[in-house]
Structure 1
Amino acid sequence: MARKIITGCVFLVLFMASSCSQATATNSESSAANISGINHVAGQTVNLFSINGYGGTLTGNSCCIMIPDKWRPGLKVHIEWETDPEPYAHLPPLGTDEYRKAYALHKTKYQQHSTIVDIPQYGKERCGLTVHFLPCNQVKVTTVCSGYGTPNYPIKAPLKMKEPASCPA
């Protein structure tokens, strides 16, 4: 009986060790990267967003998403976000019953969006994943290290863009 227990324990230790080495091999092929976002749409707020389930922020960087160390064709991310089409709506004073009722009604106007986009090709240098929220619920992503508005930044869309009268289907 003791021999079966010892054999079982040895098997369990070997199994756990092989699982750890597999996880390490997989993780060594990807690195953690910051997530950030930039809203280009005037009169609309991005309340929250996520990339492959990892939450991002429009106020700086948040951590983290795993990005493969080497880019490959077909590399995609799933982006989900919530917008407030009336971010400057007038509400009653905070903390009152009237505020709670008005906010509950206001929140029903929030819109949920989701898309899958390609990650553009990158080399050894990549500095996180930045999502650009554009009119017509379009998004673009980049991994470049230079900041938005600098000459080498690939996304040139201006801030405070207006929604067109109709969006392409």
Structure 2
Amino acid sequence: MLSAPVTGYNHTSAAINRFSVNGAGGPNLGPHQGGGKQSCCGVVPRYWVPGLRAVVEWEKDPDPYTYGDWPERQFSDAWTKRMAEHKKGYSRHKVIVEIPRYDIPGVLKVHFLPCDQVRVTAAGTSPGYPGYPYNYPMEMEESEVCQG
């Protein structure tokens, strides 16, 4: 097994407040952001094996910009009370996903897609480069209704 930093790519309009992959925490991700920050450390096998999977858990804020419009002074008692109500709208998720074949291991990269879909890779390359399995646009179209 090898130590691998963890990073994420958020292709949605929600905020990813926190996430983990196989228990290793990743950085928070604003809407349509990612790839810049890394956290340490997850682990990946030196050599890919069939059936390799990852458990991804995350917390999502579907309306991350709403508090910018609140009239209350930030961190006042009224603002804190409103924020507590806002946090009730956060959702928590957990999925198990396949990690596609890689020849050279690298950073654990988690892609958050619309409809709470997730993809993980440990490929030793980055988005936009040959051989990278998930070249999604950062701003993906989001459906009002998700399947499943």
Same fold (TM over 0.5): yes
- Report 1 or 2 for greater relative contact order, CA contacts < 8 Å, sequence distance ≥ 6: 2
TM-score normalised according to structure 2 size? 0.87
After TM superposition, the runs of 4+ consecutive aligned structure 1 residues lying more than 4 A away are none
| Cross-structure match for 1:104 | 84
* 1:30-57 superposed Cα distances (whole Å, 9 cap, x missing partner): 0100100000012x11111001111111
| Cross-structure match for 1:11 | none
Residues 91-130 of structure 1: pairs in structure 2 closer than 5 A? 91=70, 92-123=72-103, 125-130=104-109
* 1:96-144 superposed Cα distances (whole Å, 9 cap, x missing partner): 1111111000111001011000111112x22121000000000011122
Aligned partner of residue 103 in structure 1, secondary structure: helix
TM-score normalised according to structure 1 size? 0.76
2:6 matches 1:35? yes
Following superposition, the deviation at residue 153 of structure 1 comes to 2.6
Contact 2:12 2:142 in 1 (8 A): yes
Q: Distance in 1 between matches of 2:123 and 2:49?
A: 16
| Cross-structure match for 2:44 | 67
Structure number with larger C-alpha Rg: 1
More helix by share: 1
Residues 1-169 of structure 1: pairs in structure 2 closer than 5 A? 30-42=1-13, 44-57=14-27, 58=29, 59-89=36-66, 90-91=69-70, 92-123=72-103, 125-169=104-148
Equivalenced residue count is: 138
Contact 2:114 2:142 in 1 (8 A): yes
Q: Distance in 2 between matches of 1:152 and 1:76?
A: 19
Q: Distance in 2 between matches of 1:156 and 1:77?
A: 19
- Which blocks of at least 5 consecutive residues in structure 2 are unaligned? 30-35
Q: Which amino acid aligns with 1:98?
A: A
Aligned partner of residue 155 in structure 1, secondary structure: coil
Contact 2:47 2:105 in 1 (8 A): no
Contact 2:44 2:122 in 1 (8 A): no
Q: Which amino acid aligns with 2:23?
A: G
Q: Distance in 1 between matches of 2:132 and 2:23?
A: 26
Aligned partner of residue 128 in structure 1, secondary structure: strand
